[in-house]
Amino acid sequence: MKNREDWKETVKKGQNKMGTWRVSCLSVEELLCLQLLGYSSKQLYEDREGERYSLKETASMSIRELDKAKRILDRQAKAGVVTIPYYSEAYPHHFRHLEDAPPLVHVLGNKDLPNREDNVAIIGARAADKDGLDMAYGLAKQMGEQGHIVISGLALGCDTAAHRGCLDVGGQTIAVVASGLDITHPKVNKSLQDEIIAKGGTILSEHPFGVKANPTRLVARCRMQVVLTQSVIVAQCPIISGTMYAVRFAQTYNDDLFGWEHDVYAVRYDTQNELNSGNKFLLDYNLALPVRPGQEIILDNYNRLFVCP
């Protein structure tokens, strides 16, 4: 009986400690307020209780920014956007070990989809030719037909083709974007964004309403794309391309202390040109595994991509 009472007391102490920790956590409004003030992710993840309370005090004293944060969050909620803080159970677990993980993620559509494991990122350049677009579409179509999730970035070219290939067979897809969710970048993809949401997919951003995409944010977006998956396919890209940033992130995070494992694949084209020079570079230097037009791809029992002979 004494052991049982000791166990109950231990559980109670643990619950009290967790309760105290949650109270000390910055609220969604406070986190956004501090982001508006220019605080970095590292500063907002400070674990020392005294520092957290100091940040809470800073937020409470920043009346203008706190009021702005509340207005933004209210607008987002009315538009159907769910804002998830890093300490929530709903926060995408793939992001948790990122050194610069976003303290808040903003989600339009299916908030559970980013926690799925059976997914593949299919990415590529905006200025793709018909071969590149056909490959992005066809590979995404295969994943959609198998009931898996396709991740891409809602950009023109290969990203659009990948989302479309998945949607056309009734699949679900995640678009990771570099702007607030009140802005569609590019504007021409507004109907595609609406269709992704209508068909059970997700639009995900680390930025609140009002933030526009720029080159820096587009590059940062790449890190979030690759950590959501174990497999990245480059459909087509030049050797100097934004797609290469995603490949670099996948290589950086591969086999790190947190156990991420990324396989990078690139489509091998019979005819070489500037538009697929990035694919050739990745394959020639053994930085990616080849996928040929017409090959079947599947995810194995460990959600790793397998290319059928």
Specify the amino acid at residue 301. Answer: N
Domain count, the chain: 2
Let me know if residue 204 belongs to a domain: yes
The residue among 54, 78, 102 that closes a domain is 78
Which phi-psi region, left, alpha or beta, contains residue 154 (left: φ > 0; alpha: ψ -120 to 50)? left
Let me know if residue 202 belongs to a domain: yes
- Mention every residue, 6+ apart, whose C-beta is less than 8 A from residue 56: 24, 26, 30
> Whole-prediction pTM value?
0.89
In 187-215, which positions are buried (b, 16+ CB within 10 angstroms) versus exposed (e)?
eebeebbeebeeeebbbbbbbbbebebee
The residue among 56, 78, 100 that closes a domain is 78
H or E segment and range at residue 132: helix 130-145
- Mention every residue, 6+ apart, whose C-beta is less than 8 A from residue 79: 108, 181, 182, 209
- Residue length, the chain? 309
Instruction: Check whether residue 57 and residue 137 sit in a common domain.
Output: no
d(CA 33, CA 63): 9
Let me know if residue 99 belongs to a domain: no
Phi, psi of 145 (to 5 degrees): -65, -30
Domain carrying residue 52: 2-78
Tokens 């609140």 belong to residue? 208
Per-residue pLDDT of the chain (309 residues; tens, 9 = 90+): 445 455 445 434 434 433 333 445 889 999 999 999 999 988 887 655 555 568 888 999 999 999 999 999 999 999 999 999 999 999 999 998 788 899 999 999 999 999 999 999 999 999 999 999 999 999 999 999 999 999 999 999 999 999 999 999 999 999 999 999 999 999 999 999 999 999 999 999 999 999 999 999 999 999 999 999 999 999 999 999 999 999 999 988 876 545 567 799 999 999 999 999 999 999 999 999 999 999 999 999 889 999 998
Let me know if residue 89 belongs to a domain: no
